[in-house]
Amino acid sequence: MSSPLTFQPVLDRIAAEIAQTPGRGRPADYIPALAACDPRSFGMAVAELDGTVYGVGDWRQPFSTQSITKVFTLALDLAHEADELWEHVGREPSGNPFNSLVQLEYENGIPRNPFINAGALVVTDRLHTQTGDAAGTLLDFLRAESGNEHLAINEEVAASESAHGDRNAALGHFMAAYGNIGNPVPVLLDEYFRQCSVEASCADLALATGFLARHGIRADGTRLLSMSQAKEVNAVMLTCGTYDAAGEFAYRVGLPGKSGVGGGVIAVVPGRCTVCVWSPGLDGHGNSVAGVAALDRFTTITGLSVF
């Protein structure tokens, strides 16, 4: 691409192609508050390093961020405790569904990576120990980086997740039995469900992810992560960010990315820009069907990839 001004025509082209694509998947039906979303909804935003944002479709429509927030809690905890975190959670793809319990027992309560639910619970637990308010710390960060002080937690979604959160409770208690959870499990679960229930738009999330494209530098010019830490987060996103479909995502998209069952996907082009797509229809792995297709088209059209 010769100029950032070409991003808008690219987004318009992608939106037109996606509109003609049949089969958008199904919204997450195990969280009742998400089940009513229209799978035909579609938004996409690109944020340049200087905060310039381009968008198309429902790019300013807030949606439930869900597991996308795991990227930000990971970065925030790394900023507090650096490599000590990696003694409690691994960095390898799991090859299992995001809410699986099967690996924890024979790996002594150490989750395979920070983006499956077990690993995210560990990260949230440690961030809560560091800050005393994991969900609030996350929300403050997202507001600052996006420039949107109105970002908020949807308490209805949080309550819905809590009411259907038995598997996450099981993960928390299981890891606590191995000494890998420091806070009372009910406290941790409340923080985790509230964390996942933050609502933000494609524009908000593209801007908030910018520190990873700027090699650890926040929107205000201060450093959150070292260059090496930013590389680490991007690497784990590439290999683990879309659960047990991470290999397919790397093959099709070729960027570090993180999905959420609310239908959002963020992606990072280090040194260039960040992208967020939202469409709530999911595939069997919990990834947005239209979102992954749109990112596939984005990297194909622009040639922007880490490969």
- Known catalytic membership, residue 94: no
CA atoms of 68 and 102, how far apart (whole Å): 23
Residue type, position 82, single letter: A
- Burial of residue 139 (CB within 10 Å: 0-12, 13-18, 19+) is buried
CB 201 within 8 A of CB 62: yes
Selecting among 122, 253, 261, 289, the annotated active-site residue is 261
CA atoms of 265 and 291, how far apart (whole Å): 6
For 239, other C-beta atoms within 10 Å of its C-beta total: 18
Selecting among 54, 56, 185, 243, the annotated active-site residue is 243
CA atoms of 39 and 26, how far apart (whole Å): 6
Tell me the three state secondary structure of residue 278: strand
- Known catalytic membership, residue 67: yes
Selecting among 41, 67, 279, 288, the annotated active-site residue is 67
- Burial of residue 74 (CB within 10 Å: 0-12, 13-18, 19+) is buried
- Known catalytic membership, residue 243: yes
CA atoms of 77 and 16, how far apart (whole Å): 39
What element of type H or E holds 205? helix 202-208
CB burial readout 168-201, b (16+ within 10 A) else e: beebbebbbeeebbebebeebbbbbbbbbbbbbb
For 217, other C-beta atoms within 10 Å of its C-beta total: 18
- Known catalytic membership, residue 54: no
In angstroms, the Cα distances linking 183 to 104, 105, 175, 188, 190 are 19, 20, 11, 6, 11
Selecting among 89, 192, 279, 289, the annotated active-site residue is 192
- Known catalytic membership, residue 201: no
Selecting among 70, 146, 253, 265, the annotated active-site residue is 70
CB 233 within 8 A of CB 74: yes
Catalytic (active-site) positions = 67, 70, 192, 243, 261
